[in-house]
Amino acid sequence: MKMENDIYCTKDLPEASAIYSHHQKLLRLEREGNHFIFVFQDRKSCAKLANAFLNRELTVDAKTFSESLRSLKDLIFQQKEKNNR
């Protein structure tokens, strides 16, 4: 079992999509005001991917990235609808 301190969090949707594209496990989505935080397992691996993404050094298949982006957006909209009920 992974420890809770072994998580990686980001509010940045493109960054989260890049991490998700590399098959990192999304643990949950947390709401913070009007924003959502993506919480991933394995801080070290995710931080490495995020750093490569931000430095434009990460290679991601365009279709995989697009599908990851769509999946994460769908999760956000589902969460918003759930909270509005």
| pLDDT digits 0-9 by tens, 22-70 | 999 999 999 998 899 999 999 999 999 999 999 999 999 999 999 999 9
Query: What value does the mean pLDDT take over residues 68-79?
Result: 95
Q: Are 53 and 15 in contact (CB under 8 A)?
A: yes
How many domains does the chain divide into? 1
Is residue 1 in some structural domain?
no
Q: In angstroms, rounded to a whole number, what is the distance separating the alpha carbons of residues 18 and 50?
A: 8
Is residue 55 in some structural domain?
yes
Is residue 32 in some structural domain?
yes
Is residue 17 in some structural domain?
yes
Is residue 15 in some structural domain?
yes
Domain range for 19 is 7-83
Which residue spans within the chain are E strands per DSSP? 7-10, 26-32, 35-41
Q: Indicate whether this model's pTM tops 0.75.
A: yes
Q: In angstroms, rounded to a whole number, what is the distance separating the alpha carbons of residues 16 and 4?
A: 18
